[in-house]
Amino acid sequence: MKKFLYLAVAGSALMTAACQPATQSVAPAQTDVVASVPTVEQAKDFLEKSEAEIVELALRGSKIEWINSNFITEDTNWLSAKVGEEFGLLSTRLANEAKQFNELTLPADMARKLDGLKRGSNFPAPDKPGAAAELATIMTELNAAYGQGSFNYKGEELQLGELSKIIANSRDPEELKTVWEGWRTIAPPMQKDYARMVEIVNEGSKELGYADTGVLWKAGYDMPADDFTKEADRLWSQVKPLYDDLHCHVRAKLNDQYGNEIVPLDQPIRADLLGNMWAQSWGNVYDMVKPESDTPTIDITTLLEEAKYDETQMVKVGENFFTSLGFDPLPGTFWERSLFTKPLSRDVVCHASAWDIDDKDDIRIKMCIEKTGEDFKTIHHELGHNFYQRAYKNQPVYYKDGANDGFHEAIGDMIALSITPDYLVKIGLLDASDVPDASADINLLMQQALDKVAFLPFGIMIDKWRWNVFNGEYTPSEYNTGWWELREHYQGVRPPSERPGDAFDPGAKFHIPGNTPYMRYFLAHILQFQFHKAACDIAENTGPLHRCSVYGNKEVGKRFDDMMRMGSSKPWPEALNAFTGTHNMDGSAIIEYFAPLHTYLKEQNKDRNCGW
């Protein structure tokens, strides 16, 4: 999820935030001149007046950004660019003014708010004429280029959704290669602008006191930047053995399908063969890698079809999960103002997102919903953002955010882990007689692992790449080479053909041109299982973790709400402790969840040559 404004300051849509454009620069700050020896009272006054500015700009701006994402035109792109300029100017000004209180001893709450202001934007513009406008224009154009991207295949101009269906369903390696390469033709024109954007935001980050923008991003995790890098690596080391065994098994099964020429058993897997445009989740190849048995599995897509669910009903079911925990229903405006289906007559950004327009009750989702099991789960994910947003709506604007950005992503995914067979029975999608017994658990866990476990290395490598871009380790001419070095190192995947240095394949993934930090998704995949285990413990679950559903448990909902209402008002370890009873992120829950599958994978791989 992306913000134009502050790492620790909300007040805008989670997906995109901005302000109504102005025809001139932002007016001078409406604050008193800070004396040479500032006082606590002056700092308090500065924070109050800054909050008022942020709230006013964010309300107008989020509406502008909503329009731009739902009506991509030259005019709305222009509006969005002006919005980004105004936010850039505001961010830079408030960050610089906040530094005037650096030597002042302040109460912890005030110091935390000022630290958030000083960190400024994820993409800060330097304090010089024209920089904010140039940055905003580049960011808007990159986002629009992705949203309007298409590839002509067999005489039809296909956009990402249609191309992704081919990647998901085709078993023809030549077709997969053509479509995979075709989508990436949208990216090379982005590279020059992207490189210029990196120059601008690095200059802005240095003005704020950070070595580069990657260091600025890592500063948002309540620990020194180097410590956070080590923390991410520690979490990856916990889950890597499970991923390695999954990779080995999947490669062997794909080899059975395609043969040694297409899938050599001593090399990384071709990225176009894994059922997803970016090989970030592998659920669409389940039919080729599932355990060799006739054990029944549950296909939520089929269940939705049989029940004749429409897109709105799917969202209603997601809402029902949260209300079963004791949360209030979504407001009427949610149903009036959200986007559930792709319009036929205009370009929209279809990437699913949750929006908080007014930091109060105008919450929405924007999705081009497909009636599939994948989107059924995605709806729960996006609603998790909305219920989190509403939980902390009474916090000051500085704290209207997740405890860290991984929390926000983990909330809905934790709920989705409770989409078990028993839950599907309770909501009427599955007959009790069709619930598979424990012998089907390996199949069910395999389906989940192809999405959850397969994602983990992709989740960590995206920002590893950007950190290397920001610190200069990868120059523009090395962007693509560095991208594939990391993808091979972490994921064990390779492109289907040699990629030119100027291909800029990173630009074919939304979060790069959309400028959304990605480490949050890696952390979320750790935290969602940690949250799930804590919730199941609260619910006094006695069965295996992967069979636990907390649907309808009000005590879980109360404890969950206690954590969410904190927003980012306290360091994330305190919020984590409020729900889980520990201050440390921990990958052991995901290992426990998939333990039966991991045992199966080790048995399957015992005579295979794993690794790459």
Task: Enumerate the active-site residues.
Answer: 382, 511
Using CB atoms within 10 A of its CB, is residue 315 exposed (0-12), middle (13-18) or buried (19+)? buried
Per DSSP bridges, beta strands 269-270 and 493-494 are parallel
The gap from C-alpha 92 to its chain's centroid, in whole angstroms, comes to: 25
SS3 365: strand
What number of CA atoms fall less than 13 Å from residue 186's CA on the CB side? Answer: 27
CA angle (219, 223, 226) in 5-degree steps: 75
Quick one: residue 353, left, alpha or beta (phi over 0 = left, psi -120 to 50 = alpha)? Answer: beta
Smallest Cα–Cα separation from 3: which of 13, 386, 338?
Answer: 13
User: Within a 10 A sphere around the Cβ of 279, how many other Cβ atoms?
Assistant: 25
CA distance 65 to 382: 18
C-alpha pair distances (Å), 244 with each of 80, 165, 560: 43, 27, 33
CA distance 257 to 263: 9
User: Within a 10 A sphere around the Cβ of 261, how many other Cβ atoms?
Assistant: 8
SS3 364: strand
Element (H, E) at 159: strand 156-159
> Which alpha helices (H) appear in 35-107, and where do they start and end?
40-70, 74-98
Cβ–Cβ under 8 Å, residues 252 and 42: no
Which residue is associated with the tokens 């005590």?
Answer: 555
Cα distance between the two ends of the chain: 33
- Which residues are within 8 A (CB) of 455 and not within 5 positions of it... i.e. 6 or more apart? 280, 281, 521, 525
User: Within a 10 A sphere around the Cβ of 323, how many other Cβ atoms?
Assistant: 14
CA distance 223 to 208: 17
- Inter-axis angle of helices 519-538 and 554-564, nearest 10: 140
User: Within a 10 A sphere around the Cβ of 540, how many other Cβ atoms?
Assistant: 8
Instruction: Classify residue 437 by its DSSP letter.
Output: -
The string of DSSP letters for 220-267 reads GGSS-HHHHHHHHHHHHHHHHHHHHHHHHHHHHHHHHHH-TTTS-TTS
C-alpha pair distances (Å), 579 with each of 39, 109, 555, 559: 37, 22, 11, 6
Which two structure tokens, joined as six digits, stand for 421? 């067979």
